[in-house]
Structure 1
C-alpha cells in the first residue's frame, strides 16, 4: 500500500513539474512591409484589414485592395472583421457603428445617439447573427444588441473598474478591465473571472487569447485558467494580432509573423 502511495505522489509531482516547465515560444517566420495607421485583422487567407492615415478602411488581399471611407464620422476607433460578411466599424466620437459586407458596402448604420433609450457606447465587438457586444459607459455593463430589430438581447452585471479592451466571436466575449479579465458565453453568463496583473490589451482567435503587458505577450489557452508568458524577441510592441497559431506584431513599418509553439 505504501508503495502505491509513493508511486502516486511521484507521478503527481512529475506531472506538476512538466506543467511548470511548459514553454511557449513565438518564432519569427516571415515579415512584410506595410504602411498603416492601425491594423484590425488578418484572416487565415492573409486578408488584411487596416486603416490608413486619412482614416480610410482597407481590405487587402493578395491581388486587390478595396477601400471604405466615411469622413463625416471621423476616426475609426475599432474594427472587427471576425465575420467578413458583416464587418463592423466603430466611430466612438460619433457614438456610431457602420456594418459592411465583404465588398465594404454599407449594410447598416447604427447611430446610438438617436436610439431610445440613448446609449453611450465606449467599446464594440461582433456577436452572432446580427448582434453586437456593446459596453454601455453610463451603466458599466455589456449589452448584446441586435441592430436589425434594435433590441437588447441581454445585459451583464455591471463591472466596477475601467474597461481597457473588448474582443469576441460567436461563442465568447472577453472584457478586460483594470482589475479583472471577464469571460462571458453567448448567453451573457460569466464563465471565468481572472485577476488582471497589469495587462493592457488583448487579441483573440479561435484557439487562444493573447494579452499584452508592457512589451511582453502572454497566452491564455482555451478552457484554461493559467496565463503564461510567451518567449519572444525583445521589441517595441505597438500593435499585435493573433490568428490560429500565428501572432502578428506591427511597428508602423513592418508587419512580422511569429509562429506560436507550446511544448
Structure 2
C-alpha cells in the first residue's frame, strides 16, 4: 500500500509538472509608465503616463491627451491603426490613428439610444465592443454608422475585464469567463476560479489568477501554469508568443515555450 501511494504521488507530480509552460527571459528594460497598454509587431510601446497615451519607438515618442474628458479609464491598441481610449467619467470613447491623431469621438451620452458603458475593447472594421451596464450585455458597436450590429445575452455577475481580437471577444465576470464570436454568440463559457485579468494571444488566452499566469488553449481546452519565477505582476501583455510583464518601472520580455 505504501509503495502504491508513493507511485501515485510521483505520477501526480509528473502530470502536474507537464501542465506548466516554461519561459525564457529575453530582456529587461526600464519603463516609466502609469500603465502599460500594448507593444506592437514593430516593438513600439504604448503606455499611459500623466493621463496621456504615448507611443514610444526607437526614434520618436508620440503623445495624445484630452484632459477635458477626465482620466483615461482604459486603452486598447490591438489594432494600432484604430486605437481606442475610454473615458468613463464622460462616457466617451476616442479613436486614434497610428500617429495618435484623433479620428473619431463617440459620446454615448448623446447617441440616439443612451448607453451607460463600463468596458471597451477593439472590434473588426469600424467597430468596438462595449459593455452596456444598464442592460448587462456586450454590444458590437459601429462608430461610423452609430448603430449596434450585434448584442450578446445578458450576464448576471460583475464584469472584471474585457479583451478581444478580430474574431473573438472575451468577457471576464466574477462567476464566468465568456468567449463570443463577432456575431455575439457564445463559443464557450468557463467558471471563474480566481481569474482577475486576461489577454488574448491569437485564439488563446493568458489569464492572471491568484497563483500567477495561466495559458488557456481554446483548441484542447486546457489550462497550464506559466513559469515566471514568482515575480510580482502588476500588468502583462502578450503578442506573437512573447509575454511582457510590467512591474515597478521595469518591463521584462519573455519567450513563451508552448510547443
1:205 deviates by 2.3
1:262 deviates by 2.2
CA separation in 2, counterparts of 1:231 and 1:251?
A: 16
> Given the two structures, how large is their TM-score scaled by the length of structure 2?
0.91
What is residue 224 of structure 2 aligned with on the other side?
228
User: Which residues in structure 2 correspond to 1:71-220 (within 5 Å)?
Assistant: 71-206=67-202, 208-214=204-210, 216-220=212-216
1:30 deviates by 0.6
Residue 215 of structure 1 contacts residue 236 of structure 1 at CA under 8 Å; is this kept in 2? no
Q: What SS does structure 2 have at the residue aligned with 1:72?
A: helix
What is residue 60 of structure 1 aligned with on the other side?
56
Residue 19 of structure 2 contacts residue 223 of structure 2 at CA under 8 Å; is this kept in 1? no
CA separation in 2, counterparts of 1:190 and 1:20?
A: 32
CA separation in 1, counterparts of 2:53 and 2:132?
A: 25
Q: Which runs of 5+ in 1 are unaligned?
A: 1-16
Cα deviation 1:61-114 (Å, max 9, x = unaligned): 111111001011111111111111111111111110000011111100000011
Cα deviation 1:109-164 (Å, max 9, x = unaligned): 00001112110000000101100100000110000000110101011000011100
Residue 131 of structure 1 contacts residue 144 of structure 1 at CA under 8 Å; is this kept in 2? yes
Residue 215 of structure 1 contacts residue 237 of structure 1 at CA under 8 Å; is this kept in 2? no
Q: Which runs of 5+ in 2 are unaligned?
A: 1-13
What is residue 45 of structure 1 aligned with on the other side?
42
CA separation in 1, counterparts of 2:220 and 2:37?
A: 26
> Given the two structures, how large is their TM-score scaled by the length of structure 1?
0.90
Q: Which moved more, 1:152-161 or 1:219-228?
A: 219-228
Cα deviation 1:223-253 (Å, max 9, x = unaligned): 3322221122112111111112111111131
Q: Does 2:12 align with 1:21?
A: no
Report the count of equivalent residues: 247
1:20 deviates by 7.8
